[in-house]
Amino acid sequence: MEKRIGITMGDAAGVGPEIILKVMDRYRDEAVIYGSFDVLAVCNERFGCNYVLKRIDNAQQAEAGKVNVIDVTGLKCADFTVGQLSALCGESAFRFLERAISDAMEQKISAIVTCPLNKEALRMAGHDYAGHTEILRDLTGADRCAMLLWSEKLKTIHVSTHVSLAEAIRRVSKERIVEVTRLAHDILIKAGFSEPRIAVAGLNPHAGENGLFGREEIDEIIPAVRQLTAEGLNVSGPLSPDVVFLKCARGEYDLVVAMYHDQGHIPLKLADFDGGVNITCGLPIIRTSVDHGTAFDIAGRFIAREDSLLKAIEAARMIAGQ
């Protein structure tokens, strides 16, 4: 039997518990939940899902036909208010992920799919991380990783993510561009692209206009593209940021290398907000995630869409060869 995929609940005050239950009719025989048994049990009853939940100590105890839950922290619904920031929920979200990473590193599960955590709640609990990617990097010991956003319409990987725009500009370097492009190429190959076509975005308007609007393209991006091309990768650029994503969405390229967080996130969320998936490249384990936040404003109403979680599970299965 193939190893199950671990799904982390994320912040229990958000929509994580709801969207997990919404996908269990399809994936309960393939998944183990790292979260709160009590929270899922209460939601299961409240929203009329009618699943049979089983509390387990490890993934090997999972039973077919049931929603199998590793209750990591003993968090209960009475301990917090849905839709509100809580240090306790921030701590639990961290521990859910920590346990899932440990199990993935020990090959007890084939991949991790993460529901959203709240960065402020995480910091309230004393964990000074910008998000999932940074936690995964530290707890797996990865020396290089990058965020790749994946949808059917558009795919993009980021040179930098959760830093200020000023810092993002400083991080545009030949070495980093080469690194993240190689990571993206490897993921695309695993996903079945025989010769990935990768476009590299410029940093400045019109990709710098030959130095008129900045030298980053001349000093860092063009040398990176030349090195990657010399290595045999099908890489083009730097291309003007205002057209490169449109070209990719129209099928001219398979993926865009974005220079910073919003440059890649804005077009992908505009193109396919509900179907986007976050993949962390460069880890020794497989990790995918929903591409949305905790949505405190609608949490507890069972109206959050599960599309992104379904896509994240499908992506994890694809990369894991399942």
- Mean pLDDT score of the chain, rounded to an integer? 94
Domain 144-282 sits in CATH 3.10.180.10: no
Distance in angstroms (rounded) separating the CA atoms of residues 131 and 133: 6
Residue appearing with tokens 């969207």: 19
Mean pLDDT over 89-108 rounds to: 97
Every domain of the chain and the residues it spans: 1-142+283-322, 144-282
Model pLDDT, residue 319: 86
Summarize pLDDT for 152-208 with one digit per residue, the tens.
889 999 999 989 999 999 999 999 999 999 999 999 998 889 999 999 999 999 998
Distance in angstroms (rounded) separating the CA atoms of residues 208 and 237: 12
Domain 1-142+283-322 sits in CATH 1.10.10.1400: no
Contact indicator for 195, 188 with CB cutoff of 8 Å: no
Residues 6+ apart with CB under 8 A from 65: 28, 29, 52
Above 60 in pLDDT, residue 241? Answer: yes
Among residues of the chain, what percentage have pLDDT more than 90? 88
Distance in angstroms (rounded) separating the CA atoms of residues 86 and 299: 14
Summarize pLDDT for 33-74 with one digit per residue, the tens.
999 999 999 999 999 999 999 999 999 999 999 999 999 999
Secondary structure class of 55 (helix, strand, coil): strand
Distance in angstroms (rounded) separating the CA atoms of residues 191 and 201: 22
Model pLDDT, residue 70: 98
Above 80 in pLDDT, residue 322? Answer: no
Residue 184 phi, psi dihedral angles, 5° rounding: -65, -40
Above 80 in pLDDT, residue 82? Answer: yes
Mean pLDDT over 235-254 rounds to: 97
Model pLDDT, residue 244: 97
Model pLDDT, residue 191: 83
- Report the run of H or E that residue 90 belongs to, with start and end: helix 87-105
When pLDDT is cut at 50, 70 and 90, the band that residue 31 belongs to is very high
Summarize pLDDT for 278-320 with one digit per residue, the tens.
999 999 999 999 988 999 999 999 999 999 899 999 999 988 8
pTM of the model: 0.87
Residue 192 burial (C-beta neighbours within 10 Å; 0-12, 13-18, 19+): exposed
The residue ranges of DSSP E strands in the chain, in sequence order, are 5-8, 31-35, 53-56, 67-71, 111-114, 146-150, 155-158, 197-201, 234-239, 255-258, 277-281, 287-290
Mean pLDDT over 207-221 rounds to: 94
When pLDDT is cut at 50, 70 and 90, the band that residue 141 belongs to is very high
